[in-house]
Amino acid sequence: MRRISSTTLAALVCALLLTGALTGAPAASAKMIPLIVGGQKAEIKNFPWQVYVLVVEGSTGVSCGGSIIDPLHILTAAHCVTHEGTTSQYPANEITVLAGASDVSEYLEKGQVPPGAQVEGVSAVRTHPDYSPLPNIRDDVAVLTLAKPLTILSTDNTAEIALVGSGATPAPETTLSLSGYGKQNGLEDGSAGSEPDGFLYSTTLTAISSDACRNAVGVNSAVLLCAVSQSSSACQGDSGGPLTEGSPAVEVGLVDFGAKGCPVNSVNVFTNIAAPEIRDFIEGDEAPPLAVRTTAPPAIRALGAAPVDYSPLTCEPGTWTGAAAFTYTFQTEGTSPQVLQSGPSDIFVPVSGAIGYQLVCVVQASNPGGVSTTRSAASSPVTLDTAAPAAHISGRPACHLQECKLQITASDPNADAVTVAATASYNASVRCTVVRRHRRVKSTCRRTKSTPMTLDVTGSGTYTASVARLPYGEPVRFAVLATDAAGLTQHGASAASMTLRAPRRSSKKH
């Protein structure tokens, strides 16, 4: 939105009163604020959906951009048609729309409508029921109903534009096109060169992710779309104007807000037309579904004091308004983050390649109203796990005849995944080859025989190990050993011993 100077305002009022597009008489007002920075002059035939929206009420004169969504309706920003910092609307009969002009300077200076252009008054204004102005801006969208429908001209300087499909937010790195009336700097001091020249300008921007958008502007991203250019920027007077994608073009956003002074390479923020919360309103829903919004940030939690490799991290989603389905993305912190895992799971196990990196969790929440993202604070750097696991035999082995069972508990200080191995060892007579008088002969030897035990998981960190066909009369040594996912093995096996006794044979007297 930009303000109209007193001289320009007076000329406009006279012309608009004569055409019947405006009623009432304003007083003097403030200076103009510039529009697209770093753009290039454009012909309306290349952006025939672009319109110039003018508001004149009392001593106030402001202008914005807008787009033709059908001959009777104009899409613009809610903050263009409401008193600054409020949700109070300007009267509809104080708003006019100029369509089909590459140059609005004659209209601004003398109130003369350019050849082939059209000026229409506005009969009704709809702003989103959940619209809130800065600093907690949301749902910044309005639909204007014209007093008479525009004529869609065969000369191609006035045309409708289709809207992007609901939910089809442009992917990061998508090239987008922006148009608007004005000049190419962020000066606001009224000096030479700080006034717009009235020409239509255009530029291209690149979409960024919703997470980067939220991180840059610090407000919820459910209804926002962000884009950036290294050589250009939107500015105040572009408010409400169309951001488009592809050819044939579809409108994906409308100019919302940006950094003070409109510096290039700064994030430009647009109302996201693909968000159902916005799209449903545009299509006539006066109570559109509202997207979830965060009220407390997510947190990434380690099981120990700090994250270590192979120890699970949990992403707590924080708190949100409304019911939401969550997607969790674990990534490295930094200017070029590396996504490590993304999906419905809130648990991530960092491997050794993550050592030295700080990690964050990006939570994406969705419901019928749209999609919002927010992120946790960064964790401390992932370090090498040096804490070994442990497994212990609980109580004495339980044996019956030649079968024994062990009850085992296992744990890891960092809750790494633990692998438990249990063995039963005893001395046994085996056939062997020995050397006697320089000859190799078969003989019977005593050797230690080790038999792996069968392991069954009985609970969290508890197991039952069993083994059968153990010998009678031989001491049997049972041992259990734990190894974790980081490759650490417990320091010394847990052991127990048992000697099985053969049952006594019963005798019968005759």
Please check the confidence at residue 81 and state whether its pLDDT lies above 90: yes
Which residues 6+ apart lie within 8 Å of 433 measured at CB?
A: 440, 441, 442, 443
Specify the CATH number of the domain 2-282: 2.40.10.10
124-127: long-range pairs with CB below 8 Å, 24+ = 124/92, 125/81, 125/89, 125/90, 125/92, 125/95, 126/281, 126/286, 127/78, 127/81, 127/82, 127/87, 127/89
- Please give the order of strands across the beta sheet that includes 313-316: 299-302, 313-316, 347-348
| Nearest alpha carbon to residue 452 among 472, 466, 433, 431 | 466
3-state secondary structure 39-99: CEECCHHHCCCEEEEEEEECCEEEEEEEEEEECCEEEECHHHCECCCCCCECCHHHEEEEE
Average pLDDT score over the chain = 87
CATH number among 2.60.40, 1.10.3470, 3.30.1340, 2.40.160, domain 390-499:
2.60.40
β 462-467/403-411 pair status: antiparallel
Residue type, 484: D
The architecture that CATH gives domain 294-375 is Sandwich (2.60)
pLDDT at site 178: 95
Q: What is the pLDDT of residues 135-172, one digit of tens each?
A: 888 999 999 999 999 998 767 899 999 999 999 999 99
Q: Give SS3 for 269.
A: strand
When mean pLDDT is compared across 254-263, 378-387, 403-412, 429-438, the lowest value belongs to 429-438
CA dihedral 210, 214, 219, 222 (to 10 degrees): 10
Does 248 sit behind a cis peptide bond, omega within 30 degrees of 0 on the bond before it?
A: yes
Domain ranges for the chain, please list them.
2-282, 294-375, 390-499
Q: Do 294-375 and 2-282 have the same topology in CATH? A: no
Bridge partners (DSSP) of residue 497 are 477
CA dihedral 99, 105, 110, 116 (to 10 degrees): -40
CB 412 within 8 A of CB 471: no
Bridge partners (DSSP) of residue 270 are 225, 255
3-state secondary structure 319-339: EECCCCEEEEEEEECCCCCCE
| Nearest alpha carbon to residue 399 among 455, 458, 470, 495 | 470
Q: Give SS3 for 158.
A: coil
pLDDT at site 106: 85
Question: Average pLDDT for residues 2-10, to the nearest whole number?
Answer: 51
When mean pLDDT is compared across 192-201, 373-382, 441-450, the lowest value belongs to 192-201
Please check the confidence at residue 34 and state whether its pLDDT lies above 70: no
Query: Residue 42 and residue 53: Cα distance in Å, rounded?
Result: 18
Residue appearing with tokens 């020995």: 434
Q: What is the pLDDT of residues 370-423, one digit of tens each?
A: 988 888 999 999 999 999 999 999 999 999 999 999 999 999 998 888 999 999
Query: Residue 203 and residue 243: Cα distance in Å, rounded?
Result: 10
Query: Residue 32 and residue 90: Cα distance in Å, rounded?
Result: 19
Q: What is the pLDDT of residues 212-223, one digit of tens each?
A: 888 888 876 789
Residue type, 394: S
Please check the confidence at residue 508 and state whether its pLDDT lies above 70: no
pLDDT at site 186: 53
CB 126 within 8 A of CB 73: no
pLDDT at site 235: 80
pLDDT at site 6: 46
* C-alpha distance from residue 217 to each of 137, 189, 211, 220, 379 (Å): 11, 26, 10, 9, 22
| Nearest alpha carbon to residue 283 among 138, 165, 150 | 165
| Nearest alpha carbon to residue 359 among 341, 379, 377, 374 | 379
Residue type, 41: K
Number of residues that this document lists for the chain: 510
Sign, CA dihedral 111-117-122-127, equals negative
Q: What is the pLDDT of residues 220-234, one digit of tens each?
A: 678 999 999 988 888
Confidence band, pLDDT 50/70/90 cuts, at residue 58: confident
Gyration radius (Cα) of the chain, Å: 37
| Nearest alpha carbon to residue 279 among 369, 159, 373 | 369
Q: Which helix (H) or strand (E) holds 193?
A: none
* C-alpha distance from residue 264 to each of 204, 227, 320, 394 (Å): 12, 11, 34, 68
Percentage of residues of the chain with pLDDT beyond 70:
88
Query: Residue 370 and residue 221: Cα distance in Å, rounded?
Result: 9
Query: Residue 352 and residue 347: Cα distance in Å, rounded?
Result: 17
Q: What is the pLDDT of residues 112-141, one digit of tens each?
A: 899 989 999 999 999 999 999 988 889 999
* C-alpha distance from residue 201 to each of 50, 262, 265, 368, 426 (Å): 11, 15, 18, 36, 89
